[in-house]
Amino acid sequence: MSTPQTTSDPVAALSSLLTQVNLSHGPSGVNYILSHLSSHLNSTPQSSLTLAYSILDDVLSTPSLLKDRGNERIIKDAFEDGSTLYCKKCKGMIKKDRWTAHVEYWCQPVVES
């Protein structure tokens, strides 16, 4: 796990994560994440940022073409700016404004062998 840069936008990263969890698991998933965060956060901003990135690293733990080619930063940047969501079904990065069409027409779940 890499150490996050302090110039990143942790609010956008957390917002993107909560949006993704809400879309895939509903309000109960969001409540779980918020409960988990509140039980582990302490008063220092750096530890809050570190926790947000550890959750993001868990989400990004699946293999991808960008990651395999050493471009993992592109994936993290997409999460941080809040413009992209990670689809757990097909393991793809989807722009927020294309999410509904992706789910309805394009998503092809990855079959684990």
Tokens read off for 84: 């992209």
> pLDDT grade, residue 109 (50/70/90)?
confident
Query: Is residue 112 assigned to a domain?
Result: no
Count the domains in the chain: 1
Query: Is residue 73 assigned to a domain?
Result: yes
Q: Greater confidence, 112 or 32?
A: 32
| Mean pLDDT of the chain, nearest integer | 75
Query: Is residue 78 assigned to a domain?
Result: yes
Query: Is residue 90 assigned to a domain?
Result: yes
Residue-wise pLDDT tens digits, 24-50: 888 888 888 887 777 666 546 666 667
Our CA dihedral for 28, 32, 35, 41, rounded to 10 degrees, sits at -140
Q: Which helix (H) or strand (E) holds 92?
A: strand 92-95
Query: Is residue 5 assigned to a domain?
Result: no
Residue-wise pLDDT tens digits, 64-78: 777 788 888 887 787
Query: Is residue 111 assigned to a domain?
Result: no
Query: Is residue 1 assigned to a domain?
Result: no
37-71 CB burial, b ≥16 within 10 A, e <16: beeeeeeeeeebbebbbebbeebbeeebeeeeeee
Query: Is residue 2 assigned to a domain?
Result: no
Query: Cα–Cα distances in Å, from 38 out to 14, 91, 95?
Result: 13, 28, 28
In the predicted structure, residue 105 carries a pLDDT above the cut 50: yes
**CA distance linking residue 104 with residue 57, whole number of Å:** 27
- Amino acid, single-letter form, for residue 112: E
**pTM assigned to the model:** 0.43
- Amino acid, single-letter form, for residue 52: A
pLDDT score at 7: 43
Domain of residue 94, residue span: 10-106
